[in-house]
Amino acid sequence: MNDKRTSPLVLDAMIVTGNTKAAVKAAGGGSSDLWTVPPEHIHYDPRDNVRPLNKDRVRQIADLIKANGYDRKKPLGCFVRKVGGEDRIFVYEGQHRYHGALLAISEGYEIDRLPLVIDEAKSVSRANLIYAGIINNDSEKLTPLQLAEQIVELQALGEGNKAICTRLNITDQTIRDCLLLANAPNGIHKLVRDQAITSTLAIEQIRAHGGEKALERLQRGIEAAKASGKAKATKKHVEAASAAPAVSAPKKISETQAKQLLQALQSVLHDPLFGKLSPGTIKGVHRALTPLTDLLDVPASKREKMRPIDVPNEHGFYSHETISSPKGKRIGKAPAEIHLARVADAEWIYSTGLALGNSFSASPCKMHADAPTYPTRGKAIRAAVQDLTRKLQHPNFQKAKELPSVHAWLDKLYTAPDPHWTEELANAAGAGK
């Protein structure tokens, strides 16, 4: 199961601010009109910056520094964060200058200290970092997609549209357009990031045709642009390609798709209600799978031992079982986990955890008033798989090396048979549609 439709938000933990003087003193820094600190004592977290780091721009800045020196008239914007009880300086404005300086240093250029302006602790919050990042990038404006991602996070932090409009000097229409793009299929996001289309063209197509149809039209437009020797599709390419009749080339089933079909058919074979199917269907499944017996996974017990009912502690957190993804070779631990608790008879809940790349997302196994419960362990697992799949669409996780193995693990969980699914549950689910 790999839902590619949207890129959901992954919230970061609240910033715990630290003592500026203590951090600068510990780093061996000094002060005149500005703070000056050795580069090796300045820290960086990509989540504090609204724009992804551009390696080409870092390379260009490093070359300029080596040729002209570091321009001390352009200090880095920083704040102090508590990390493990230690006050550390983190850069959030000027990340390309910071990384350019580090690259120049790594290539032999000497920079003893970098100039800093450090924000007062009382002004530091995740929302203020986002606002500052957007405003201070005005000379190199954020794309509508980048702005959309920040607006979604600001809204999740409790910022109202009126406040966002006022602080960013934008209109309600801009917010509506950005949210339209933020909720578009992930394929459109990739086309925008790859600069195959502009955000403006994407928004126009989504507004006129809806997300899925817009993606189809944009992909045709890109093919038309490539055929004419252009790297980027325009509205003219999209309209011309969409007006022409679509020619569908015959497709072959790939090895991956064949394995997925085999797993799906195996799930049908081991489903508790398999015997309720028509004789012809049962015979067809057996006929298809019998020659492939050696390729099939060993099925789980038809009736595995039921987990005892879990109880919460004084904080409302339930004891639970944990299903872990394969350990990542780089990090030596499971990058994804699903926690399951049986809170009552025929009532299960789940929580999830992710630790990929430099990003982390986790939630406790706890009952929430607005959260559903699930009648079987298998249903809870499938709901957790869908939840994790949505979270993995967030840009923070997209470059993690462990991502393919996590997706493969989720796909296998989603297609596994549910030994506790009964005819009564199936009837109840059908009646609820």
Tens-digit pLDDT profile for residues 290-319: 666 555 554 544 444 678 888 888 778 888
pLDDT at 394: 80
pLDDT tens profile 320-351: 889 999 887 766 788 899 999 998 888 899 99
Name the percent of the chain lying above pLDDT 90.
11
Q: Which helix (H) or strand (E) holds 12?
A: none
More confident residue, 40 or 417: 40
How does residue 54 score in pLDDT terms, banded at 50, 70 and 90?
A: confident
Q: What is the pLDDT of residue 426?
A: 56
- Which of 212-221, 282-291, 295-304, 358-367 has the largest mean confidence? 212-221
Residue 198 has pLDDT above 80, yes or no: yes
- What backbone phi and psi angles, to 5 degrees, belong to 117? -120, 120
Among all chains, which residue has been given the structure tokens 């596994």? Answer: 416
Q: What contacts 285, CB < 8 A, 6 or more positions away?
A: 265, 268, 269, 274, 277
- The answer to pTM > 0.85 is no
pLDDT at 37: 92
Distances (CA, A) of 376 to 269, 353, 380: 19, 21, 6
The pair of three-digit structure tokens given for residue 371, joined into one six-digit string: 């959260």
Report the DSSP pairing between strands 76-83 and 359-362.
unpaired
pLDDT in tens, 78-127: 999 888 888 999 998 888 899 999 999 999 999 999 999 888 887 778 88
CATH number of 20-123: 3.90.1530.10
Map residue 31 onto helix, strand or coil.
strand
The residues facing 87 across adjacent strands are 82
DSSP codes joined into one string, 172-227: HHHHHHHHHHHTS-HHHHHHHHTTSS-HHHHHHHHHHH-HHHHHHHHHHHHHHHHH
Tokens of 211: 């997300």
Q: Grade residue 42 by pLDDT with cuts at 50, 70 and 90.
A: very high
What pLDDT shows up at residue 33? 54
Least confident stretch, 160-174, 308-322, 419-433: 419-433
Do residues 260 and 254 touch, judged by C-beta distance below 8 A? no
State yes or no: pLDDT of 137 exceeds 90: no
The tokens for 35 are 């703070």
Look at residues 119, 143, 24 and name the one whose alpha carbon lies nearest to residue 395. Answer: 143
Question: Greater confidence, 30 or 390?
Answer: 390
Radius of gyration of the chain (CA): 26
At residue 431, does pLDDT exceed 60? no
Q: Could you tell me the sign of the dihedral formed by the alpha carbons of 371, 376, 377, 379, in that order?
A: negative
Share of the chain above pLDDT 70, in %: 80
Comparison of pLDDT for 328 and 238, the residue scoring more: 238
Task: Grade residue 417 by pLDDT with cuts at 50, 70 and 90.
Answer: confident
From 70-74, 132-136, 216-220, 422-426, the region with the lowest mean pLDDT: 422-426
* Domain positions in the chain: 20-123, 255-295, 321-431
Pairwise CA distance, residues 358 & 10, whole Å? 12
Instruction: Check whether 199 has a pLDDT greater than 90.
Output: no
Q: For residue 413, what pLDDT band results from cuts at 50, 70 and 90?
A: confident
At residue 356, the 3 state secondary structure works out as strand
Residue 139 confidence (pLDDT) above 50: no
> What's the pLDDT at 271?
66
What's the pLDDT tens digit per position in 57-85?
A: 899 889 888 888 888 888 898 999 888 88
Q: Residue 423: pLDDT above 90?
A: no
Residue of 335, 339, 351, 338 whose CA lies nearest to 396? 335
The confidence score (pLDDT) of residue 275 equals 62
Q: What is the mean pLDDT of the chain?
A: 79
Per-residue confidence (pLDDT) for residue 300, from 0 to 100? 45
